[in-house]
Structure 1
């Protein structure tokens, strides 16, 4: 079976996933009294594994909570050599191009991969191996920071699958890559 790479992420109106200081606090600007997960739990149940960048991995560790993922996590990094003992069976450090990592994931039997982290997503898009994206837009303008999208050499066309509005403020759109 073919491996598919998926993105589930939130951005500001101007397309940033973190502010100029690397903070993601803007994600909390809309009160969520119902504690909605914005479809995340349904999404993650369909995933076999997560590929995330080093920066995202380090951000998750800074949350000060127990490890939040129940599926294998592969961290793309040339700087990190190993992980703490408590994460040894949950996290694996990988290196290589997105195509090489996807091939390794396919060989290991993973079919639905959650790609997370700005630079990692950009690299996967540059190699045109993102199949679906769910993007939630938070109604704030950051004016700079970490952009979700980087420069591409070719136009990548996606088709709209669905849209949903949460808390009368957050717009979530699901796209599929046109092939």
Structure 2
């Protein structure tokens, strides 16, 4: 069964990017034993990717080849952005609920990965389309920035597992109750 998963890393105070939008704080963990192999295995189990424009632009700014050549990628944006032919990247203005079924089909039995961008993930969650959250927790405090998820999820997340890596890095895996997401201020 294809699941829609949000794999993301955050500081212990819940931010995925610092106040300037930088991920430099996270790159110090790239050499953490076993972490990149774990992420590579996650990506290998992914058949389709969704991201917002800011995440896409960040990926383009990194240079080099497209990092997800084996996954069809949807970029949710209202702007015209460059797309390199042959990357499997599609820009869309369509609502997430209209694109999700195409993503599941393109995944071909593998999973859908929501990459970065808590607002986009919140849109999927608001339509009951988010199944799991895989939250990497880095032992740093940013004091502000981009939150993991700027929308409230009502109901209790179910813990699926915890993985501890060297350097104090953790991964917490949660199942999201179906249809329980709400917008800002949802009670």
* TM-score bracket relative to the smaller structure: 0.7 to 0.9
Within the candidate set 91, 94, 110, 1:93 is matched to 91
In 2, are the aligned partners of 1:128 and 1:156 still within 8 Å (CA)?
no
Query: Which consecutive segments of 4 or more residues in structure 1 shift more than 6 A?
Result: none
Q: CA RMSD in A?
A: 2.2
Distance in 2 between residues matched to 1:106 and 1:172, nearest whole Å: 25
CA contact (8 A) 1:16 1:145 kept: yes
Residue correspondence of structure 1 range 137-148 to structure 2 within 5 A: 137-148=137-148
Q: Which residue of 2 aligns with 1:32?
A: 31
Task: Please show how residues 113-124 of structure 1 align to structure 2 within 5 Å.
Answer: 113-118=112-117, 119-124=119-124
Partner of residue 163, structure 1: 162
Distance 2:18 2:116 in 1: 14
The separation in 2 between residues aligned to 1:64 and 1:30, in whole angstroms, is 20
Structure 1: any 5+ residue segments left out of the alignment?
Answer: none
Q: Does 1:103 align with 2:101?
A: yes
Whether the 8 Å contact between 2:5 and 2:114 is mirrored in structure 1 is yes
Q: TM-score, length-normalised on structure 1?
A: 0.86
Aligned to 2:22: 23
User: Residue deviations 1:120-177, cap 9 Å, x none?
Assistant: 112222223110111000111111111111133x614321111011114011111112
